[in-house]
Structure 1
């Protein structure tokens, strides 16, 4: 660290960064961008659409004090109530027990063990990972939190913090599994959704300060950084070109796509899209030692993302940065766009050529994707109200049993290659509406909390997590990002980070 601190290289780039940061707002371009963004903000904030979107709906306002919310919160917290009652009844005995004291102490640090879980999950090779580990980990973390709540009277699973749409979404997921065309095939996917919901609950309930959230996020970022380093090593050694993953007729000279520990380059790229923005927040919030480590992690992550050649994830990651800057300081957005355009000629040829294929309809992967959409639409037209049941295995089975037209290669889609179409097909119209309502409500809560927070660290983490979530939502238009369960768990972990930041802002306001 002493070497890094005294390094001319590090000091040089830190000096440039600080100089730009201080000089830009006072420059002509900075004032022009500020005036333009201020005008755009005033126009947007005064519009009917903005007022409609920004207002607090009647349902979310009524939810915290509603009978339904109290009942759901009470039912979910029955285990917490039981352990609290047992602890209170025999407190002198439990206080003298080393094991009991150790369990309650460890339970108070659930946020740390959540971070460790994410680290291990993201750094585990594909061959060593079993999705059952995800369920066991989520259940274990929840149990640890419940045990830790025994000696903490205010500690509980904060279901109410997730709003009414999470309740509706959860109910419709259960109904989709129960009413599935094949309940046996749906059971595995129901367990994936339960794992995801438990992770969200542990994040929002277990975090009580920014320092705790930062440690949880840092451990998760460390996990994906290990994967990124290995991905860069794969790129250096060379990866076999797989025809089904890249059309070489329009990607001439493109090397094999790196996939690190995740079996598929798209899976790896999606994880990087979700977590690299959080690394950016850690970089901005850290002291100089943390900045150096975060910067190294960012460099490996960005390089690995480039070597995945995941076009939709490049777009998603770029959007994440734009949203981050738009929240932090609008004036940097035009600068970023101009810098991005200016950087295009300096990109590696293979990456530059890959960017040019984004809108190339001659690319076989693009053509195949549209064939999947067309085939999936045939099934959706017949099942748009109720859906066919939870899980991509059920939708694949419905294609074959319904004798629908296949794709040009004679196969049926394993999934819709689109999160929203897939959810609609699985859970029906009410399922997709509750899902979209949940996502949009959480983003709105995040933006509102960002504006109200006085803690710059929380604001940066909120801006990064909102940006990352916007990025992965865009990627979800072209990819089914939940097909690989580790990606699904990370998706909901990111959702939980936004919810935890919103909670911290509310606690901050109560302490005023």
Structure 2
């Protein structure tokens, strides 16, 4: 059907013509010369070698006492489960119930995918953030039981690198040193949930097919949320004045939010997960796989458009550009040209919304700068130690300073990095940024060493998505809604799962 398709045949011929024109064009030749020059420069550049090399901490981490202690403590439950199994091996092997539970534990990646699916489809009014913790603990317990009869199965915390340990220690310090420990405990548990999600993604995935199934379940949940978002766009939702300044967004309809509390929350989740669906499309081996991943993409793109989340549009654009750059940077000009060509076909309301990006007359932009000014007042007193975890703690401290121009106080800093700085102090911010940069650098390096194209596609997509949400985090506090926080760290776990698969492939060669 595909081979005989007139439309696809025309598109293939058009692509061949464009590719040939690009190859022979002056710009194409200039780009190839720049590529050769960049390759020669990078080979001899001291700066490039300094940036690209492994740091001292990552090099010594696997054999360090801190790594062994960290990994050993986390794996105490697995060690106990394995010991109990060895002691009563005959009894356990003869137990139908144990074999069933053990089989479920061996497929914990499936239950992790289902947990994330449920997290994406439960309406806001029925969601409790404690469900995330209970679910993460439950899947971890299942993994531990499953590891009893599997000698190689363990919680692979050492794969996350040294900065994660420092980050966790500083989170605990922010809890203990909080101006309100009782309030901070709530967000500390959210951080625990996030760490368990990262750890489970890395530890439960042993081969690409498992990673693909887990991600496919997550995308299925995203599609359900997106279809409901499309329905909201069709029937219309109420315009909320605090979410859209109608003086500069004339004619814009109400912003959809699907199963989440706020349009920005939904848009951020879409920006993080849409690239993973693109990876499934690129890695599909059958036309059915490509069809369903492409079909899943349609409601997701419609929904992110209808959220009118400008920062998320920018983040998703960057995510796709990073993905394309990693796959083949020569397609970047083509992607940019196609993007510009698509602008005239956008709905007028979306086009008008794009034009408001950076518009200082927009009340939301003005309000952000007022929040940053108020945050600066707080930082002068708490920059070195932080006020403690949880935006509610920061809200209380804000109330001891002058109000903003409208007489109110910020509920958060509207910026992940400022928020982490304000909550955990300067060392917490440094550890947080170090964790992210280590993940990106390790992921990019492994991308060029991995031969399995499917793993490369998923790694490029997850790196792109993380870059996108990091940019969104400059304009939004993406963790104010904990479900977004959980998806954020799930995405981070996907990067390290791909790194693990790539390294396993290298060792097998």
Length-normalised TM-score, structure 1: 0.95
1:28 aligned to 2:27? Answer: no
- Whether the aligned pair in 2 keeps the contact of 1:424 and 1:431 (CA below 8 Å) is yes
Q: Structure 1 residues 91, 276: CA separation in 2 closer, same or farther (over 3 Å shift)?
A: same
For residue 241 of structure 1, give the secondary structure of its aligned residue in structure 2. coil
C-alpha distance in 2 between matches for 1:44 and 1:476? 31
- Tell me which of 404, 423, 431 is aligned to 1:434: 431
Paired residues for 1:385-464 under 5 Å: 385-400=384-399, 403-464=400-461
Residue deviations 1:26-60 (CA, integer Å, cap 9, x gap) = 44347534444444454456544322211100111
Structure 1 residue 406: deviation in Å?
1.2
C-alpha distance in 2 between matches for 1:357 and 1:42? 42
C-alpha distance in 1 between matches for 2:202 and 2:380? 38
C-alpha distance in 1 between matches for 2:208 and 2:443? 15
C-alpha distance in 1 between matches for 2:7 and 2:413? 45
- Whether the aligned pair in 2 keeps the contact of 1:131 and 1:485 (CA below 8 Å) is yes
Residue deviations 1:167-224 (CA, integer Å, cap 9, x gap) = 0000100110111000000000000000000000000000000000000001101111
Q: Structure 1 residues 49, 307: CA separation in 2 closer, same or farther (over 3 Å shift)?
A: farther
Residue deviations 1:71-125 (CA, integer Å, cap 9, x gap) = 1111110000000000001000001111111111100000011111111110111
- Tell me which of 70, 73, 95 is aligned to 1:72: 70
1:104 aligned to 2:102? Answer: yes
Paired residues for 1:58-457 under 5 Å: 58-286=56-284, 287-400=286-399, 403-457=400-454
Residue deviations 1:410-465 (CA, integer Å, cap 9, x gap) = 11111100000000000001100011111000101100110000000000000000
Gaps of 5+ in 1: none
- Whether the aligned pair in 2 keeps the contact of 1:450 and 1:459 (CA below 8 Å) is yes
Q: Structure 1 residues 441, 16: CA separation in 2 closer, same or farther (over 3 Å shift)?
A: farther
C-alpha distance in 2 between matches for 1:158 and 1:85? 19
For residue 329 of structure 1, give the secondary structure of its aligned residue in structure 2. helix
Structure 1 residue 275: deviation in Å?
0.2
C-alpha distance in 1 between matches for 2:228 and 2:39? 43
- Tell me which of 478, 486, 498 is aligned to 1:501: 498
Structure 1 residue 136: deviation in Å?
0.3
C-alpha distance in 1 between matches for 2:494 and 2:301? 22
- Whether the aligned pair in 1 keeps the contact of 2:112 and 2:214 (CA below 8 Å) is yes
C-alpha distance in 2 between matches for 1:459 and 1:313? 24
Structure 1 residue 343: deviation in Å?
2.1
What's 1:57 paired with? Answer: 55
Q: Structure 1 residues 511, 182: CA separation in 2 closer, same or farther (over 3 Å shift)?
A: same
Give the length in aligned residue pairs: 504
What's 1:481 paired with? Answer: 478
C-alpha distance in 2 between matches for 1:38 and 1:233? 50
For residue 373 of structure 1, give the secondary structure of its aligned residue in structure 2. helix
C-alpha distance in 2 between matches for 1:463 and 1:419? 23
Length-normalised TM-score, structure 2: 0.96
Structure 1 residue 483: deviation in Å?
0.5
Q: Structure 1 residues 373, 112: CA separation in 2 closer, same or farther (over 3 Å shift)?
A: same
Structure 1 residue 342: deviation in Å?
2.4
Residue deviations 1:223-269 (CA, integer Å, cap 9, x gap) = 11111111111111111111100000000111111111111000000
Q: Structure 1 residues 388, 12: CA separation in 2 closer, same or farther (over 3 Å shift)?
A: farther
- Whether the aligned pair in 1 keeps the contact of 2:3 and 2:9 (CA below 8 Å) is no
C-alpha distance in 1 between matches for 2:420 and 2:10? 47
For residue 72 of structure 2, give the secondary structure of its aligned residue in structure 1. helix
Structure 1 residue 24: deviation in Å?
5.4
For residue 256 of structure 2, give the secondary structure of its aligned residue in structure 1. coil
Structure 1 residue 346: deviation in Å?
2.2
C-alpha distance in 2 between matches for 1:60 and 1:20? 47
C-alpha distance in 2 between matches for 1:206 and 1:16? 44
For residue 329 of structure 2, give the secondary structure of its aligned residue in structure 1. coil
Compute the RMSD of aligned alpha carbons.
Answer: 1.6
Q: Structure 1 residues 345, 117: CA separation in 2 closer, same or farther (over 3 Å shift)?
A: same
Residue deviations 1:255-298 (CA, integer Å, cap 9, x gap) = 11111111100000000000000000001111211111111111
Paired residues for 1:39-54 under 5 Å: 39-43=37-41, 46-54=44-52
- Whether the aligned pair in 2 keeps the contact of 1:246 and 1:365 (CA below 8 Å) is yes
Q: Structure 1 residues 23, 64: CA separation in 2 closer, same or farther (over 3 Å shift)?
A: farther
- Whether the aligned pair in 2 keeps the contact of 1:37 and 1:330 (CA below 8 Å) is no
Q: Structure 1 residues 195, 128: CA separation in 2 closer, same or farther (over 3 Å shift)?
A: same
C-alpha distance in 1 between matches for 2:458 and 2:6? 26
